[in-house]
Amino acid sequence: MEDTIILYPSPVMGHLVPMVELGKLILTYNPSFSIIILITTTPFDTGSISSYIKHVTVATPSVHFHHLSTISPPSTTSSDNIATLAFELPQLYNSNLHHALQTMISQKSRPKASIIDLICNSSFEVFTSLDIPTYYFCTSSASSLSALLSLPKTHQILLEKNKDPNTSIEFPGVPPIPTPDLPGPFLDTEGIAYKSLFGTAINMVKSAGILTNTCHAFEARAVKAISNGLCTPNLPTPPVNYYIGPIVANSSEDHEHECLRWLDSQPSRSVVFLCFGSMGLFKAEQLTEMEIGLEKSGHGFLWVVRSPPADGETKSILAEPDLDVLLPNGFLDRTRGRGLVVKKWAPQVAVLSYDSVGGFVTHCGWNSILEAVSAGVPMVAWPLYAEQRFNRVLLVEEMKVALALEESESWFVSADELEKRVRELMDSVSGEGVRERVRAMRDCAKAARGDGGLSRVVLAELVESWKDG
C-alpha cells in the first residue's frame, strides 16, 4: 500500500497555498508518497479557494484534496469575525475529521505523518489519538513562532501591558513589539483565538516537530532563541524545528496576464507594485488618497484595486470594482502609460520577478514578504490585519528590507505619506540601503533552497525519516 502524508491547513489562501507547496516539495523528495490535503468549508469568503484547488488538481494530480463533511456554522459567533471563526471551525470539524481518518486507515494504512496548521491546533489530539505522528506547520516567521511559544511565560505580561498602548512586549530573538502591533489574537486574552494559540504553544512541545516557512539567514536571532529554549523556560524545548523556507508558489502558469505584458514595456526597476493579499480591502476615502499619492510620486505603478467594503464587511472581495467610480477626475487618463490599475487580482509571484518592478507596497502577509525577498524587491510596509503589524516591525527593524508608512490613529495613510515613502524607497540613499539588504537576502534564499542548502537538506532528511519509519 502507498504511504500517505496528511496535510491539514486552515482554508484561507495565505495558509492553504504554502501547505500545498509543502506537499509538492515532499513529493520531489519521495514521489511514491500520497499527499492528502484535508479541506474544510467556511461560512466566510476565503477568496478563490475552489478555483485554486481545481487548478492544483489538474497541474499536480499526485496531490489529492479530501473535503471533510460540511458542518453547520456556529450560531454564537458573528460571521464577520473571521479571525474567531477561523480558530473555532477546526474544533467543530473534529468529529468529521476523526471519521475521515479512521476510514483512510481502514482502506489504506496508517498515515506516515500528519502536518497541521497552527490554526488547526484542536485537531492535534485527534491525530495523536490515532497514533499518527503529528507536526505543526508555521506558515509565518520564526519571530512569530518565538512569540507563540512564549505565550505561557508572557501571559501575565500581556494581561498587564495590553491596557497600555504606550508599552512594548519583548519576545526572545525579536525586536520589541509595541503593544498595538501585537498579533490580533494577543490583544484579547479572553478570546477564542488567543486561547487556541495558547493551547498550540502547549501542544507544540509534545508534537513530532515544527516546520517553519523561513530560513536561518532571515531570522538568525529568533531561530537561535527558539533552539536555546529561551521561549519555553518552563516547558520542554520543541523536539525538532525544521526551517524549510522560503517556500514560494511557482509562477510558471501565470504569464498570460495583461499586466505582465505591460511590465515588459517599462524601464528596469521603475515600477512600484501595490497589492494587499487575498483579503485586503480599503475604504473609498483611502483609495482616493492612494490615487493622489501615486500620481504625485512621479513613479510608474501597478496597482491592484478591489471594491471598498460595505459596512466593514469583506463581501466585496469578489465584487467587480468600477474604476471610473472609484478613481474619478481623470486619474486613469493622466497616468496612462506610466501606471496600470488592474481589478481584484494580479499574479503576484510573476509580477515580483519582473526586472521592471523596483518596489512593493505590501500588507505584510508572510507569503508576500517571502515572495518579495526571494525576488529581491524592497518593500513599503502597510499592514492591515492579523499578525501583519507584527511583521512590519520584523521587516523594518530586524530584516531591514522595508520602509514603514506612518498612519493616523485610525490607521489612515495620507497621500503625502504614500508619495514620500515611494520616493524614499525608489530614489533615496536610505532606500538604497533597503534595496541592497533585500538583494543580499535574496541570495541567502537561493542558497538555502539550492543544492546542499540548509532548508533543502533539512526537508530531505525529514522526508527520508518518514520513508524509513
Domain ranges of the chain: 2-249+451-466, 258-446
3-state secondary structure of 237: coil
pLDDT over 70 at 49, yes or no: yes
21 has pLDDT over 50: yes
Cell reading at 234 = 518552563
Q: Please, which pLDDT band fits residue 318 given cuts at 50, 70 and 90?
A: low
Which is more confidently placed, 431 or 380?
380
The SS3 call for residue 302 is: strand
Q: What single-letter amino acid sits at 410?
A: S
pLDDT range class, residue 453, cuts 50, 70, 90: very high
Task: Read off the pLDDT band of 79 (50, 70, 90).
Answer: very low
Among 39-53, 111-125, 174-188, 290-304, the range scoring the smallest mean pLDDT is: 39-53
Specify the pLDDT at position 275. Answer: 98
Angle between helices 415-427 and 429-449 in degrees, nearest 10: 70
The percent of residues above 70 in pLDDT, for the chain, comes to 94
CA distances from 74 to 85, 90, 189, 421 (A): 8, 11, 21, 43
Hey, what's the cell of 468?
A: 524509513
Residue identified by cell 506558515 is 139
pLDDT reported for residue 255: 66
Task: Give the mean model confidence (pLDDT) for residues 176-184.
Answer: 95
Q: Which carries the bigger pLDDT value, residue 220 or residue 280?
A: 220
123-127, 309-313, 365-369: which range is least confident on average?
A: 309-313
| pLDDT for 73 | 72
For domain 258-446, give the CATH superfamily: Glycogen Phosphorylase B; (3.40.50.2000)
User: What is the per-residue pLDDT for 313?
Assistant: 53
pLDDT band at 1 (very low <50, low <70, confident <90, very high): low
Q: What's the rounded mean pLDDT across residues 183-210?
A: 95
* Distance (Å) of CA 26 to CA 58, 82, 120, 445: 18, 30, 21, 19
pLDDT value for 84: 83
Task: Check: CB of residue 330 under 8 Å from CB of residue 337.
Answer: no
For residue 120, give the nearest of 102, 139, 105, 106 by alpha carbon: 139
- Mean pLDDT value across residues 100-129: 94
| Average pLDDT rounded to a whole number, residues 420-429 | 94
440-465 mean pLDDT: 96
pLDDT for the residue numbered 380: 98
> Could you tell me the three cell numbers for 238?
520543541
Tell me, what's the pLDDT at 26?
A: 97
The grid coordinates listed for 278 are 487575498
What mean pLDDT do residues 247-259 have?
A: 79
pLDDT for 200 equals 97
Q: How confident is the model at residue 253 (pLDDT cuts 50, 70, 90)?
A: low
Rounded mean pLDDT, 138-151: 97
Question: For the residues 37-56, what does the mean pLDDT come to?
Answer: 83
pTM for the complete prediction?
A: 0.95
What percentage of the chain has pLDDT greater than the value 90?
A: 79
- Are the C-beta atoms of 97 and 68 separated by less than 8 Å? yes
Mean predicted lDDT score pLDDT of the chain: 92
Among 320, 341, 322, residue whose Cα is nearest residue 331: 341
Scan for cell 528590507, then name that residue.
401
CATH architecture of 2-249+451-466: 3-Layer(aba) Sandwich (3.40)
pLDDT mean over 224-249: 91
| Partners of 114 in beta bridges | 6, 134
Q: Is the pLDDT of residue 221 over 70?
A: yes
Contact status, residue 383 vs residue 363, Cβ threshold 8 Å:
yes
- Asked if 2-249+451-466 and 258-446 have one fold, the answer is yes
- Using pLDDT thresholds of 50, 70 and 90, give the confidence band for residue 296: very high
- What would the mean pLDDT of 188-202 be, rounded to a whole number? 95
Distance of CA 337 to CAs 265, 331, 361, Å?
Answer: 9, 12, 20
* Average pLDDT estimate for 440-451: 96
User: What average pLDDT does this structure show over 124-147?
Assistant: 97
Q: What is the mean pLDDT of residues 338-346?
A: 95
Q: Is the pLDDT of residue 435 over 60?
A: yes
Task: Judge residue 333's burial from the number of C-beta atoms within 10 Å of its C-beta, 0-12 exposed, 13-18 middle, 19 or more buried.
Answer: exposed
In 180-245, at which residue ranges do the beta strands (DSSP E only) sit?
209-212, 241-243
